[in-house]
Amino acid sequence: MKKNHYDVLIIGGGISGTALFYELAKYTDVKSLCLLEKYEALATLNSKASSNSQTLHIGDIETNYTLEKATITKRTAKMVENFCLQYDLQDKIMFKHQKMALGVGKKEVHFIENRYEEFKELFPYLELWDVEKLKSIEPKVVYLDKKQSKIRPEPIIAIGTNTQYTTIDYGAMAEALVKEALKATEADTDIFYNTEVIDIIKKEDKIFELVCKNNERYTADFVVVNAGAHSLFLAHRMGYGKHMGCLPMAGSFYMTQGHFLNGKVYMVQNNKLPFAALHGDPDILANNKTRFGPTALMLPKLERYKKGTYLDFFKTLNFDLHIVKIFWDLLKDSDIRNYIFRNFLFEVPFINKGLFVQDAQKIVPSLCADDIEYAKGFGGVRPQVLDKEKEKLMLGEASINPGNGIIFNMTPSPGATSCLGNAERDLKIIVEFLSLSYDETQFLKDLTE
């Protein structure tokens, strides 16, 4: 084998990169496979459990999902669940909590009732929970006071379940994916840490050369870039995806000092807002204390809690009049404008807790500022992709595939839930491009049945 040359090379050791590494190793006859990770360990950025809400997004309680999207996401979420069950990871990195979408006020109650009717065939385990039921399973969403003597005045209702797996430590799952991949394959495999790719060059002999910051160089017949916001940065370096820009949105959280919610409580999404609605989750890193969030703050850098990447942000934003038009269209809507300004204030010390708790009280009416603390070190950056041709903010995953042996993936939420499904898509492209054998029967049996 040519030194530092591989059949397939994956950039990024988060949940998306490790999912593809696992699928290629276990279900194809790839002869050589490499994973390059910028930092000292797997999943140090958005896949890390403290950087996301640890949710297995299925579409049953995510009220901004259409029936069509929920059908797709249900399948990819099942793949994550099946992987964890296959390797006995339940109650270790995958957990069950009750979960619900809570409607508050007449309009939202009506919405939840209609949604239940529309989605109950796809999700037959869903139940409709009225006030009396909520008193027993999630009392803090019902009562105005901590003594639980006064019921909130607005009508409320929820759709939910307490029978499903809901919570994943995606950082631990990334480690499990690599561990099981190495056990399952006879291919030559390498994983290199502290290896930042700064450029990718298409060579005349149809291979790609990767130039790294540590002066190492690697070549591969096929390259997949699963590097979050840096995927678009590297695509732009090669001249691909110039019709896209990246808007990094940072999400922060607040943590309760005691036990507040028994499970995941999601609110009805305002369809005008392209960012996730506030929700409360039991945090598996903090003894199931409730973590409220996320906030949404545009941050001029590509990585949270890491040095630098400011210049990378300006390059990846790909600023021009099309970007100005997208920003203008977003900000001219008063709901979006007020939301962005309010979320900025959620980051300002001394006033942030008081403002944030006003929003969180829609979930827990008795919550007060003394009950929560800003969760330092929690939260990540999601690469929201801007389509300059359509002059719109793109929602969901974005992928660039020029068809010549390289793929660039940008995966905002629910990218972690969809990791194995997205990897399946890329795996099929790689298998065809390199004429590999692929045990699809075993793949489907293991992950989708």
For residue 373, CA distances in Å to 185, 253, 284, 356, 413 come to 46, 9, 17, 10, 25
Q: What does the pLDDT read at residue 394? A: 83
Q: Where are the domains of the chain?
A: 5-447
Contact 57, 70 (CB under 8 A): no
Q: What does the pLDDT read at residue 1? A: 41
The 8 Å CB, 24+ separation contacts for 39-43 are: 39/13, 39/193, 39/194, 40/193, 40/194, 41/13, 41/193, 42/13, 42/14, 42/18, 42/171, 42/174, 42/175, 42/178, 43/13, 43/14, 43/15, 43/18, 43/170, 43/171, 43/174, 43/175
261-296 in b/e burial notation, b at 16+ Cβ within 10 A? bbbbbbbbbeeebbbbbbbbbbbbbeebbbbbbbbb
CA distance 359 to 270: 13
Q: Is the peptide bond before 412 cis (omega within 30 degrees of 0)?
A: no
The 8 Å CB, 24+ separation contacts for 143-152 are: 143/365, 143/366, 144/365, 144/366, 145/366, 146/366, 152/365
The 8 Å CB, 24+ separation contacts for 269-276 are: 269/62, 269/63, 269/64, 270/335, 271/64, 272/333, 272/335, 272/336, 273/335, 273/336, 273/339, 274/330, 274/336, 274/384, 274/393, 274/395, 275/249, 275/339, 276/251, 276/413
What fold characterizes domain 5-447?
Answer: FAD/NAD(P)-binding domain (3.50.50)
The residue type found at 195 is T
10-residue block means of pLDDT along the chain (449 residues)? 84 97 98 97 94 94 94 96 98 97 97 97 98 97 96 97 97 98 97 96 92 94 95 96 92 92 94 82 93 91 90 92 93 89 88 93 96 93 90 84 96 86 97 98 97
Q: What does the pLDDT read at residue 94? A: 98
For residue 273, CA distances in Å to 6, 98, 294, 298 come to 43, 26, 13, 14
17-47 in b/e burial notation, b at 16+ Cβ within 10 A? bbbbbbbbbbbbebebbbbbbbeeebbbbbb
Q: What does the pLDDT read at residue 89? A: 98
Q: Is the peptide bond before 414 cis (omega within 30 degrees of 0)?
A: yes
Residue 338 φ/ψ, nearest 5 degrees: -65, -35
